[in-house]
Every structure is written in C-alpha cells, then in structure tokens.
Amino acid sequence: MAAVNLRFAPLAGCLLACTPIGPSSTPAQPASDPPAAVTPVASDARTEPAPEPEPEPAPEPTPEPVSDFGVLHEDLNAHYEEETDVEQWRDRFEHGPREVRFKQPLILKEVGLAKGDRVADIGAGTGLYTFPFAKAVGKSGRVFAVDVQDYFLEYLQAQAKERGLTQVRTVKATQTSVSLEDGSIDVAFLCDAYHHIEHPEPYLKSLHAALRPGGRLVVVDYAKVEGATAFIQHHLRDSPDTFRAEIEAAGFRFVRSADFLDDNFLFVFERPKAR
C-alpha cells in the first residue's frame, strides 16, 4: 500500500477500504526484464550488413470494464474478492476516519426511520448502519442487510443473532439485482456503496421494484466534484450529478439533498406513487 498523504488523512479509512491491497512499489530490476540484445557476429562483416532492428510493436490498449452508463476506473469490487478477512474490513469501516461515521447521527436523522419500517441497508458491509437501523425500526420492523459477499453476510447474521436482533435478515444480491421481493421495503439506503455497483441500470430497476410506491431511497456517497481530493477524483467513476441522473432515469423522483457533508453527498429520492 502506498503511503497515504496527510492531505488525504480524513479519507484514509476509505482509501484503505476501497483500494486494492498489495505491494505498490516497483521492483528495482524486474526478474522478467529481457536480457540485453546480442548482435549476432557475421562470418563476413564486409558482405553481410547488420540487419535493421525490427520496429517495436505498439502496445495494445488495456480495455477498461464498462458499466451501463460509462467507463469504470477499475474493477470496483476486486479488493472485496481478494481480501476476505471480515475483522480487518470492520476496522476500516467502523474505526477509520470516515465522514459517514462521524456524522452518522445526522445521516440517521435524514433517513428518518420509524418503528415498524422495513429498510434495506444495501452494501451493508460490517453493518455500520444495519445495527442502528435495527434499533430505529424495532422488533416490529425489518432490516434487510444486503451485500454480495458471503463473508459480510455471515458476519452480519452472526452479529444479529448475538445481539438478539430478530428484525435483521441478510440478503445476497448480485451485480444486476438487489434480490429483494417486489414492494417489500419502505426505505432503501446505500452508504458508500452506489459507486461499487457494477451494473447500475438493471440494479436500479430491481431496486425500484423492491421499494413500495411512495417509499424513499437515500444515497450517500463520495462527491466527485471540483476541488475534491485526488482519492475521490480517481476512485469514483462519476459525479453526484451523473449518479442523480442515473437514478432519476430509473424512475425515482429526486426529493432533496443534504448540506451537512463535506466529502460526500446525500440524496433523497422517492418511488412515485402510482397514479
């Protein structure tokens, strides 16, 4: 892992969480370096001139993975596939200097859950929001903790059992579907997860169906805007405006945005009621 510039210290937690793990330094002399070219010695140097060197072939451009809406910077979930130690993810998500952690009370207020609500914490990770949601909706409510990684789901299930939270259910999503039943939730919430969805178009379609008409969708994510840190500029595929346009194109109505976040944006949408 490259050293984290102090300028990005507030984001170091997610920098660690959201970047692939592995050595980043370049070896001084790669073992695969070809040996220096050896010019063959001609039997008669006067009659056999040295052959012209072959021109170097142009390097093949590396194809980038393409989402439904644009070009992605990287394989968005490779680090979650490679690093499966849930304890170290919990440290990063729940003890790192993340704005979504420090300002959690404000974000929870904005989500505005009531007892008995059915909420989906989509891209739940280690449950930073799953467990406060469980408290907010109470035993008469339901929290669907949705993720694509089995190790997060197993951890969440074990935690829910240990804490006696029978209102929490884990759900395994795919990159094209949230895997929730139609009309089964009142509120959908994504924290630092929307930008990890590899195929937003079909995924949003499934999410629209899962939300009851009149239900809310709350999206919190890094704001790739002018003046954002280099980490955000590199890591996010697109701006809040583009994310908003994608979500509106899937049939959600934009309701409002919050103004208390610095590195992130928070948008509230609604699935319009049927006419």
Q: Which residue, 44 or 157, is less far from ligand SAM as judged by CB? A: 157
User: Where does this chain touch ligand SAM (CB under 6 A) — which range of 37-45, 116-124, 255-263, 267-275?
Assistant: 116-124
- Residue selected from 117, 147, 221, 246 as contacting ligand SAM according to rule CB under 6 A: 147
**193 counts as binding ligand SAM under rule CB under 6 A:** yes
- Residue selected from 99, 110, 117, 192 as contacting ligand SAM according to rule CB under 6 A: 192
Q: How far is the CB of 76 from ligand SAM (least distance, A)?
A: 7
- Residue selected from 10, 13, 123, 215 as contacting ligand SAM according to rule CB under 6 A: 123
- Residue selected from 11, 100, 185, 210 as contacting ligand SAM according to rule CB under 6 A: 100
Q: Which of 175, 164, 169, 165 is nearest to 205 (CA)?
A: 175
Residue 39 region by backbone torsions, left for phi larger than 0, else alpha for psi between -120 and 50, else beta: beta
In angstroms, the Cα distances linking 131 to 101, 124, 166, 186, 261 are 13, 10, 11, 17, 22
Residue nearest to ligand SAM (CB): 125
Distance, CA of 94 to CA of 101 (rounded, Å): 7
- Residue selected from 10, 67, 93, 240 as contacting ligand SAM according to rule CB under 6 A: 93
126 burial (CB, 10 Å; 0-12 / 13-18 / 19+) is buried
Number of residues lying near ligand SAM (CB under 6 A): 24
**11 counts as binding ligand SAM under rule CB under 6 A:** no
Q: Provide the mask over 52-91, with x wherever binding to ligand SAM is found by CB under 6 A and - wherever it is not.
A: -------------------------x--x-----------
Distance, CA of 72 to CA of 223 (rounded, Å): 16
Distance, CA of 100 to CA of 171 (rounded, Å): 23
Q: Which of 79, 98, 86 is nearest to 159 (CA)?
A: 86
Any idea which residue has 């003890």 for tokens?
95
Residues that bind ligand SAM (CB under 6 A): 17-18, 77, 80, 93, 100, 122-125, 128, 146-149, 152, 173, 175, 191-193, 196-197, 203
